[in-house]
Amino acid sequence: MRPDKKPSRRSFQAQRLLLLRTLLNAVAAEMRRHGFAGFLRRLPYHLRHLGSHWRRLAAPPPAGNSLAFEATPSASRSLRLHPDLCPPAESIECKISIVIPTLNAGIEFRWLLCKLVDQQGIGSLEIVIVDSGSTDGTVQLARDCGCSVIEIPSGSFSHGNSRNTGADAASGDYLLFMVQDAYPIGNYWIYGMLSFLREHSDIKLAAVSCAEFSRSDSDMMYDWSIKNHYSFLGCDVFDRIGEFRGEQHTLLRSYGQLSNVACLMSREIFQEYHFRGDYAEDLDLGIRLIRYGYKVAMLSSIRVIHSHNRSSRYYLKRSFVDTIYLVRMFDDYAYPCVDSHLGLIAGIASSASRLTDWLGQQAPHECHGSAGALLMEWIKQLRKWDIGLQLASPPNDADTLDAYLSQLAIKYIPPGWHPDKIARQEARSFFDAFLARLDHFARFVGETYESLDSPHMSEVLGAISKNFAAAAGSSLGFMYLDLSKSSGPDRDMAEAIRHELSSGV
């Protein structure tokens, strides 16, 4: 359909048909998951949130096409070889300044610095370290390796300003922002990113980032997360060049994403835009660049080795902060209202305690059958749970996830509180959201592992707990967004929870 023509009547009919089909599929999925009686019990909740459901159903697909089935397939793309497989005949004569914020970078930091110094195919290189209070010898190691070191107080660290400080002290023609635990693949890694950036300068390519391979000790939750992330960005197999295609948040995030795990751009462009804020500064910069007519790239052909093995508490906090950031950054980011914040807190705390007990009963054992089928059977069992709102005493270990959540409930739920129907529905809605995440994770496990040995089964059990933490973090983020608009004790509670869950992320 040409953009200068009005949509045809047939197009409107097709849109209505697509919307109706999507609605019927959603209803059918709910009935398969909860049964007919369960669907009827949840119907009042869905009717209360009809506005947000309708916005999601009616939203355009991420590709920006009004009708996905009328979209023409994208042209085939050739794979780009890593430059170490075909080394260049000549170097690119320019200076690269690498900016790395550090805090107790650890023993492996020496390997990273050596790998960077050994990079080939570029004229010269400098490394600028911005350290925020390391006590493990990171600063002395950096100086011994010839790096320029800027020391800042730990309390003044922020992701954006710390990198801006390093960039201001750098003298290179190009700036390469990295993190302290990402390890480049190959000796022509920088050359590969730089040559891609220069080869596409004619289309106003302003910045290049690269994807990552997980370390061998990465946890299963992280592996699943980055697979989803890079699939969403379109750079899991091919290099992706993003440009502005609309103001929908899915379009801005998928086409404007940069990553400070490794992000290269010219000094001239960076001096004009800089990083902003203390969180997701790379996404913010990428979106601003494409809005001003530039393009940004995420490379699959050139990668770093980088991953983490995070605790459940970390996923709780990270998901909480992500939720608040995305809703505030994008006007069209729809989120569910929380009808009973006490029901939500009680539901999270009571189900966390029960889930911990259930996970303890699932001894890690070898799974010789379908790993995905085993998880789906577990999810089927969890769906049958009656989510009671009985608050248990906090475990002795105050650092565990369920200990924190139990303490949260005891702190904010008044003594003698009795949950009403709305509170119970809120608790059930949260648990359903957790099971939806777990269902997605189960598909990943089934596609990735034919069978599971005992160590992998332990990781699966840990990932279930981490998925619960992420679901709890998102729901508490939604609650904060609602209560932050109020006043009095509810707002005070929301701000206290925000302070606890935002620190250190």
Q: What is the pLDDT of residues 256-296, one digit of tens each?
A: 999 999 999 999 999 999 999 888 999 999 999 999 999 99
Average pLDDT over residues 303-315: 94
Tokens of 121: 């195919």
Cα(133)–Cα(102) distance, rounded to whole angstroms? 8
pLDDT recorded at residue 416: 85
Domains and their CATH numbers in the chain = 12-70 (no CATH), 83-309 (3.90.550.10), 324-502 (no CATH)
Pairing of strands 262-266, 92-102: unpaired
Q: What are the tens digits of pLDDT across the range 184-232?
A: 999 999 999 999 999 999 999 999 999 999 998 899 999 999 999 999 9
Q: Whose structure tokens read 């295609």?
A: 245
Arithmetic mean of pLDDT over the chain: 87
Cα(249)–Cα(257) distance, rounded to whole angstroms? 11
Q: Is the pTM of this model over 0.75?
A: yes
Residue 19 has pLDDT above 80, yes or no: no
Average pLDDT over residues 66-79: 46
pLDDT recorded at residue 200: 96
Q: What are the tens digits of pLDDT across the range 314-363?
A: 999 999 999 999 999 998 888 888 999 999 999 999 999 899 989 988 87
pLDDT recorded at residue 194: 97
Question: 10 Å Cβ neighbour count for 437?
Answer: 18
Cα(497)–Cα(503) distance, rounded to whole angstroms? 10
Helix, strand, or coil (residue 481) = helix
Residue 127's pLDDT band (boundaries 50, 70, 90)? Answer: very high
Residue 84 has pLDDT above 60, yes or no: yes
Residue 147 has pLDDT above 50, yes or no: yes
Comparing CA positions, the residue from 336, 438, 308, 323 lying closest to residue 382 is: 438
Q: What are the tens digits of pLDDT across the range 94-108?
A: 999 999 999 999 999
HEC string for 355-412: HHHHHHHCCCCCECCCHHHHHHHHHHHHHCCCCCCCCCCCCCCCCCHHHHHHHHHHHH
Residue 11 has pLDDT above 70, yes or no: no
pLDDT recorded at residue 392: 61
Residue 371's pLDDT band (boundaries 50, 70, 90)? Answer: confident
Of 46-55, 168-177, 478-487, highest mean pLDDT: 168-177
pLDDT recorded at residue 58: 58
Q: Is 438 left (phi over 0), alpha (psi -120 to 50) or beta?
A: alpha
For the chain, percent of residues with pLDDT exceeding 90 = 65
Q: What are the tens digits of pLDDT across the range 392-412?
A: 666 666 568 888 898 999 999
Of 31-35, 176-180, 366-370, highest mean pLDDT: 176-180
pLDDT recorded at residue 15: 59
pLDDT recorded at residue 494: 94
Residue 7 has pLDDT above 50, yes or no: no
pLDDT recorded at residue 55: 57
Cα(285)–Cα(265) distance, rounded to whole angstroms? 11
Average pLDDT over residues 114-118: 96
Cα(105)–Cα(136) distance, rounded to whole angstroms? 8
Dihedral angle, C-alpha 488, 491, 497, 500, nearest 10 °: -80
37-41, 75-79, 393-397, 496-500: segment of lowest average pLDDT: 75-79
Question: Which one is predicted more confidently, 186 or 15?
Answer: 186
pLDDT recorded at residue 155: 86
CA atoms within 13 A on the CB side of 170: 30
Query: CB–CB of 449/371 below 8 Å?
Result: yes
